[in-house]
Amino acid sequence: MALVDFNKVKQLFGDSGQPSDADLFRELFVLVLSRSTDADSYSHPAEVASVQEVIKKELGEDMSASDVRTAAASKIYESTPLRKVLAGAAPKLTVDQRRAIVQGLVTVMHADELVSSREYEFFNMVVDALDMTPADVAGLVVA
């Protein structure tokens, strides 16, 4: 399955069938991290490279820089805002999966050593849409 076709995400909004949590997580992970490279309207090469590294580490898959840029500009954003995609998917993901998305996002946003105000807003939107608490984001787990 191609990492940038987002078929499982599309199933949330009208296509038949329900995606498995693992497939949905993979696609959302790629979607959010790739889109974050364009959050401030400039895809810094260090951010694109960071997305590639984080995807390799978390998913064990290689993704080319052009695939990252393709995912960042996916037509899926034209039909459904990312906030709506994430809010619809959040109940289907575990807290650990949502936390992995956010931790990957932090890594990518720090890749160019700057966090712009638009990246800051993007981060907060992702956390809010994934219905995460500050404790979830911090990795705190009740024993």
The one-letter amino acid at 22: A
pLDDT at residue 22, rounded to an integer: 87
Between 30 and 79, the more confident residue is 30
| pLDDT tens by residue, 38-89 | 887 778 899 999 999 999 999 999 999 999 998 888 777 777 889 999 999 9
Is it true that domain 19-138 has CATH number 3.40.80.10? no
| pLDDT tens by residue, 94-133 | 999 999 999 999 999 999 888 999 999 999 999 999 999 9
